[in-house]
Amino acid sequence: MLEPLSYDFFLRGLIAATLVGGLCGLIGVYIVLRRMSYIGHGLSHAVFGGAVVSYVMSINFFVGASVWGFLSALLITLTTRKRTIGADAAIGIITTASFAVGIALVSRYRTFTRDFDAALFGNIMGVSSGDLIAISAVTLGAGGIFFIGYKLFLFTTFEPDVAKFYGVPTAWVDTTFSLVLAGAIVVSMQILGVTLIAAAIVIPPIVTRLITNSFRKMVLLSTSIGAFCGMSGVYISYFIDVSSGATIVLFSAALFILAITYSNLKSYAKKRRPQISS
């Protein structure tokens, strides 16, 4: 059982997946409650465009992709606040346009030597020490920001308009959120790949929402479930010889099925309980 832990590459992948799982679970709470579930999926595509641009312009991948992702996230948030355009439409337009920039550049400059497969499908076993440092820094930074700004993020997520009336600097909160989101997508992309990030962001908070009605508990549980899914997914993938990203998502989906079954059984039992009439 402990055999895979003797490999350095596996250990690095396990730590990275645990951190990324927790990070996605944490950010996912705010994303799901803002009804922007597809922003993870969309932004990962947008960041792919930024990754190609940074490669063409010989800029560091993390810097280029983060700036690109931040601008896309900010644009989506600002467009959504205008209310004339829904979050789903804003995500659809901005992120696919950004993804298209990447595709256009790849097709224009056919002399690419860099392989973008890792960005598209993730590569947990190829995590370097540098990647691990970047993931740890973003996870710690995001955790610190959500911890310190807990009250501000809660009010802004619950009622953005009313929060403003109470003096909450909602524009700053939104900008900070976009920044953290972009950083999280960039570091997660290397692990899970563009195509699987959405599930890692959405499933843990949805599972948690089914079992708690408290925001504080939802934040703590979603982060823990995300980290647990990341760790378990990588561990299981070693033994069943299946892609780690896919195993993490399938493990999360299995938890979701368990949670929804539990929730339905609970409601059923509540309905069947005899009513005491006075």
- Binding segment for other proteins (CB under 8 A), chosen from 73-81, 114-122, 162-170, 248-256, is 162-170
Give the helix ranges, DSSP H, for 149-169: 150-158, 160-165
Instruction: Give the whole-angstrom CA distance, residue 269 versus residue 267.
Output: 5
Residues 30-69 that bind other proteins (CB under 8 A): 33
Binds other proteins (CB under 8 A): choice among 147, 239, 262, 268: 147
The string of DSSP letters for 182-209 reads HHHHHHHHHHH-TTTHHHHHHHHHHHHH
Taking the complex as a whole, the smallest distance from the CB of residue 172 to other proteins amounts, in Å, to 10
What is the radius of gyration, based on Cα positions, of the chain? 20
> Residue 152, interface with other proteins (CB under 8 A)?
yes
> Residue 168, interface with other proteins (CB under 8 A)?
yes
- Binding segment for other proteins (CB under 8 A), chosen from 45-53, 131-139, 158-166, 228-236, is 158-166
Q: CB nearer to other proteins: give 30 or 61.
A: 30
The string of DSSP letters for 66-80 reads HHHHHHHHHHHHHHH
Binds other proteins (CB under 8 A): choice among 96, 136, 195, 212: 212
Helix 197-211 and helix 244-272, axial crossing angle in degrees, nearest 10: 20
Q: CB nearer to other proteins: give 88 or 159.
A: 159
Taking the complex as a whole, the smallest distance from the CB of residue 161 to other proteins amounts, in Å, to 8
Residues 6-35 that bind other proteins (CB under 8 A): 33
- Binding segment for other proteins (CB under 8 A), chosen from 82-90, 104-112, 156-164, 230-238, is 156-164
Longest CA span, the chain: 81
Query: Residue 97 region, left (φ>0) first, then alpha (ψ -120 to 50), else beta?
Result: alpha
> Residue 158, interface with other proteins (CB under 8 A)?
yes
Instruction: Give the whole-angstrom CA distance, residue 138 versus residue 144.
Output: 10
> Residue 254, interface with other proteins (CB under 8 A)?
no
- Binding segment for other proteins (CB under 8 A), chosen from 36-44, 95-103, 151-159, 182-190, is 151-159
Core vs surface per residue 211-238: b (16+ CB within 10 A) or e: eeeeeeebbbbbbbbbbbbbbbbbbebb
Binds other proteins (CB under 8 A): choice among 148, 242, 258, 260: 148
Token pair of 84 as six digits: 């004339």
Binds other proteins (CB under 8 A): choice among 6, 8, 167, 273: 167
Taking the complex as a whole, the smallest distance from the CB of residue 223 to other proteins amounts, in Å, to 14
Q: Which of 35, 32, 10, 26 is closest to 226 using CA atoms?
A: 26
> Residue 214, interface with other proteins (CB under 8 A)?
yes
Instruction: Give the whole-angstrom CA distance, residue 58 versus residue 53.
Output: 8
> Residue 166, interface with other proteins (CB under 8 A)?
yes
Residues that bind other proteins (CB under 8 A): 33, 147-152, 154-155, 157-159, 161-168, 209, 212-218
